[in-house]
Structure 1
Amino acid sequence: MIIMMMARLKNFPSPLFLVLILLITGSKLSEGARIFTIVNYCKETIWPAVTPGESFNGGGFALKPGQSLIFTAPVGWAGRIWGRTGCNFDRNGNGSCQTGSCGSTLKCAASGKPPASLAEFTLASPDFYDVSLVDGFNLPLVVTPLNGRGNCSIAGCDADLRPRCPPELSVKGGKGGRNVACRSACDVFNTDEYCCRGVFGNSATCQPTYYSKRFKEACPAAYSYAYDDPTSIFTCSGTDYVVSFCSSRRRPVCTYHHNRLICGRAMGLRATGRMWWAMILTIIITSGLWNIY
């Protein structure tokens, strides 16, 4: 089931507008499904991609700055979400992207071409999720679980690694030759040590390198190399997810579940029941929510 709504707001991110529409219409979501709100806080249009994408508008769509889409995925779904940049698609959905391309189509049926920041999910009991930079970096990416049970930590990388990318890993292509992505050391040097293969293909021998340490220092809640499990993979039960591009890990986020608005921020703060009416009114008054265009 897909809730295909788009909103673009002044001075406020669009997910709240979406959940308010859902609140007014009284839409109900299926029991046991996970609600995904995918939102673009970047200053440029991006083209999120999802594989497998049957529950996500076929696996690809465009989001302008401030826009979002809400989807539901069934328990048992396991897949990846990432962002594509610099894309140009025709009316038939054919084209190409500067980073994160999954081929020549808007709807992705295959994984993205590195380098790309990846959000990875296995929906079960509990869910497992992470943000991985093992295949490189192209956009800040944060995963925030809401209304779940368990650890439910915020995963991701809200730092922009492109300006600070080591020259040997840089992918240039922007205006003035700016960096548009940062490759992984494995992708660049293709050695067993950097790729965690051969004699380095286990957690005892595959250790952090100079490059993975730089990624980890900037993004401590994201995978920096293949065996970076203890600080990078998280679990949560019965949760919804907000997948945010170019967002801070401390930014408050909202989702709509079982006719309730659920809002939170870092460390799992959440508001449900009667509290959310006060929260909505406060946000509307302070944020100028009525300035919709």
Structure 2
Amino acid sequence: MGISKDLIFLLLLLIFFSKDVSSATFTFLNKCDFTVWPGILGNSGLDTTGFQLQKGHSRSLEAPPGWSGRFWGRTGCNFDGSGKGSCSTGDCGSGQIECNGSGATPPATLAEFTLGSGSPDYYDVSLVDGFNLPMIIETSGNGGCENTGCGANINTQCPTELQSENGDACRSACEAFGTPEYCCSGAFSSPATCSPSAYSQMFKAACPKSYSYAYDDASSTFTCTDTDYIITFCPFSQRTTSHDTRKGGFGGGSWLVDLAIGESSLVQPCFLLQTTLFLVTITSIMSLGRHFNYRF
């Protein structure tokens, strides 16, 4: 008995769509000089909701099509042998390494994803809940997609009124003051009525590709298809600790951070180089002039 045309058609459709609908791999990389404990809140489908990631280590998780959720880094954690404990920043309140359905306690830098199922993925890095750790998202496998994130250490420029108790994180204005105009709530619950504040503009200036307030969609949400993702904590070489707020912070300078995620040109370093060469040239001319008894 032959195979019906309808069955053949259904099989062809299945093959066609199976090429477009595939899982995505999230790889977490810790370039901090300290241990980070990534936290996870989202749909079921990942094999963990929180884990330890030592300095220089990485771990990969596979997510099914349609998965949606967020990742963040917890710092200053203290867990006992049974996995019970808490963290200084980004704590999920579960009392365990596994977050078990609980989200990050603000302030926390968030990486947010909605994976497509035959449609594009959406992703962003959000500072709407504040900042605790530099973090970027890179795509892997599709060269046409944009990287995003916040590589600058905002803790070094955090206004006093937004600083967390230990100075190891920077709160959002909403968390700090709780008023509708900062939280985009009540009479300010629409894009037309909730505008960026001076505080959210400070976050945006430091990390132009990241969400800085609730309606910051236009310059902060990105899409991609057929790719995997690398989430890197403290993406640029640095020698700070999780509580170090020295000027310069992560990345050794904001121009390097901006350059590495495509947000700046080499204006500052080129200017410094040109200035140095100019001074060296003038010094050499004056030295030669004195040698030949010329007056300047």
Q: Same fold (TM over 0.5)?
A: yes
Amino acid paired to 1:111: G
Q: Which has the higher strand share?
A: 1
Equivalent of residue 90 in structure 1, options 80, 92, 100: 80
Task: Supply the RMSD in Å over aligned alpha carbons.
Answer: 1.8
Equivalent of residue 114 in structure 2, options 122, 137, 148: 122
For residue 36 of structure 1, give the secondary structure of its aligned residue in structure 2: strand
Distance 1:112 1:193 in 2: 23
Distance 1:56 1:248 in 2: 27
Partner of 1:167: 160
Distance 1:131 1:100 in 2: 15
Q: Which moved more, 1:140-149 or 1:106-115?
A: 140-149
Establish whether residue 188 from structure 1 lines up as the match of residue 176 from structure 2. yes
Aligned residues of 2:148 and 2:261 also touching (Cα < 8 A) = no
Partner of 1:133: 127
Equivalent of residue 106 in structure 1, options 97, 103, 111: 97
Equivalent of residue 235 in structure 1, options 214, 223, 229: 223
Aligned residues of 1:48 and 1:60 also touching (Cα < 8 A) = yes
Write out aligned runs for 1:1-293 (5 A).
32-52=22-42, 54-103=44-93, 104-108=95-99, 109-124=101-116, 125-148=119-142, 152-173=145-166, 179-248=167-236
Amino acid paired to 2:150: C
Distance 2:32 2:90 in 1: 16
Partner of 2:244: none
Cα deviation, residue 148, structure 1: 2.7
Cα deviation, residue 55, structure 1: 4.3
Amino acid paired to 1:95: G
Percent identity of equivalent pairs? 51
Aligned residues of 1:185 and 1:211 also touching (Cα < 8 A) = yes
Cα deviation, residue 181, structure 1: 0.2
Gaps of 5+ in 2: 1-20, 238-259, 263-296
Aligned residues of 1:61 and 1:107 also touching (Cα < 8 A) = yes
Amino acid paired to 2:136: V
Measured against aligned partners, the alpha-carbon deviations of 1:40-64 in whole angstroms (never above 9, x if no partner) come to 0111111001113754442111111
Q: Which moved more, 1:58-67 or 1:47-56?
A: 47-56
Measured against aligned partners, the alpha-carbon deviations of 1:64-91 in whole angstroms (never above 9, x if no partner) come to 1101001110011000000000001112
Distance 2:78 2:236 in 1: 27
Cα deviation, residue 172, structure 1: 3.4
The two structures have a TM-score, normalised by structure 2, of 0.70
Distance 1:213 1:71 in 2: 34
Amino acid paired to 1:115: P
Q: Which has the higher helix share?
A: 2
The count of residues paired between Structure 1 and Structure 2 equals 216
Cα deviation, residue 231, structure 1: 0.4
For residue 133 of structure 2, give the secondary structure of its aligned residue in structure 1: coil
The two structures have a TM-score, normalised by structure 1, of 0.71
Gaps of 5+ in 1: 1-30, 174-178, 250-264, 268-293
Cα deviation, residue 106, structure 1: 0.6
Amino acid paired to 2:140: L
Cα deviation, residue 147, structure 1: 1.5
Measured against aligned partners, the alpha-carbon deviations of 1:265-286 in whole angstroms (never above 9, x if no partner) come to 857xxxxxxxxxxxxxxxxxxx
Larger radius of gyration: 2
Measured against aligned partners, the alpha-carbon deviations of 1:83-128 in whole angstroms (never above 9, x if no partner) come to 0000011122110100101111110121110000000000011000
Measured against aligned partners, the alpha-carbon deviations of 1:11-32 in whole angstroms (never above 9, x if no partner) come to xxxxxxxxxxxxxxxxxxxx71
